[in-house]
Amino acid sequence: MRPGIVVRIIAFAILLAFLIVPDLFAPVFGLLTKNGQPAIYNQGSLLDLTFNHLAIVFAATSAATLIAVSLAILVTRSFGVEFLPLSRSLANIGQTFPPVAVLALAVPVLGFGTAPTLVALFLYGLLPIFENTLTGLVNLPQSVTEAAKGVGMTWAQRLFKIELPLALPVILAGIRLSTVISLATATIGSTVAARTLGEVIIAGLTSNNTAFVLQGGLIVGVLAVLIYDSLAALERWLMARTGQAKRAAA
């Protein structure tokens, strides 16, 4: 087994232990507290918050994937080419609009809670997936797309049997980027009362408790690294399986 994998397994084990029995780590975090503050987050279950955090990210990224991939497929078909600039700017706006601003705008309409956070993460996640799907579909080897037409595949057969399978690793790279960005960005959802790990960080900031801030930050950070790595490994495996070992991931 390679050392990289061992390190990741250990990191995962420590994370799991911390989420299930956080009090084990009280002595470590105790070093960061002052004036007898609690060392471990005590306003709710860390495990619950983590699950909720992941669920929000998963929901937002799935929705973004569905919309962004469909949009990219649409604008790479001959009948949809004229929508390419429009959909590009839409995805760009989603990315440039700060999530905090989306939250501020969405709260009056959707109220406090999870909904505005989902909207912000969804908009923020569109662009990387859209751009990567576009790259994946447009940069297929020309001889392959040509052959797919030449053997008499219909457009749907070409899309589902040739183009999407070959573009999948590149699309997945976009999803990976989006997921990791969402994991971090989801924490600000707690400012509008979404139940994410942001709660732990905010609780720490308001009570001037460095231990809380660090706990929230570390859980998000380790989760992001682990998820990033697993998705990257999945991409490499897909690349090899689809016979594209030499094609670099975008």
Contacts of 79 (CB under 8 A, 6+ apart): none
Closest CA to 138 of 171, 183, 107, 161: 171
> Whose Cβ is closer to another protein: residue 4's or residue 243's?
243
Could you tell me if 184 and 220 are in contact, meaning their C-beta atoms sit under 8 angstroms apart? Answer: yes
> Whose Cβ is closer to another protein: residue 85's or residue 165's?
165
CA–CA separation, 239 vs 247, rounded Å? 8
CA–CA separation, 229 vs 205, rounded Å? 30
Query: What type of residue is 73?
Result: I
Q: How far is the CB of 87 from another protein (least distance, A)?
A: 27
Q: How far is the CB of 249 from another protein (least distance, A)?
A: 15
Which residues within the stretch 134-173 sit at the binding site for another protein (CB under 8 A)?
A: 141, 143-144, 146-154, 157, 162, 165-166
Contact with another protein (CB under 8 A): which of 1, 31, 245, 248?
A: 245
Q: How far is the CB of 241 from another protein (least distance, A)?
A: 7
CA–CA separation, 29 vs 26, rounded Å? 5
- Dihedral in degrees, nearest 10, Cα atoms 223, 229, 233, 238: 70
User: Which part of the chain contacts another protein (CB under 8 A), choosing from 20-28, 95-103, 223-231, 239-247?
Assistant: 239-247
Binding track over 179-218 against another protein, x by CB under 8 A: ----------------------------------------
Closest CA to 186 of 107, 116, 92, 105: 116
User: Which part of the chain contacts another protein (CB under 8 A), choosing from 28-36, 107-115, 220-228, 241-249?
Assistant: 241-249
Q: How far is the CB of 148 from another protein (least distance, A)?
A: 7
CA–CA separation, 140 vs 202, rounded Å? 46
Q: How far is the CB of 154 from another protein (least distance, A)?
A: 5
Binding track over 92-121 against another protein, x by CB under 8 A: ------------------------------
CA–CA separation, 68 vs 28, rounded Å? 43
Number of residues lying near another protein (CB under 8 A): 21
Could you tell me if 120 and 134 are in contact, meaning their C-beta atoms sit under 8 angstroms apart? Answer: no
Please give the residue ranges that form the binding site for another protein (CB under 8 A).
141, 143-144, 146-154, 157, 162, 165-166, 241-245
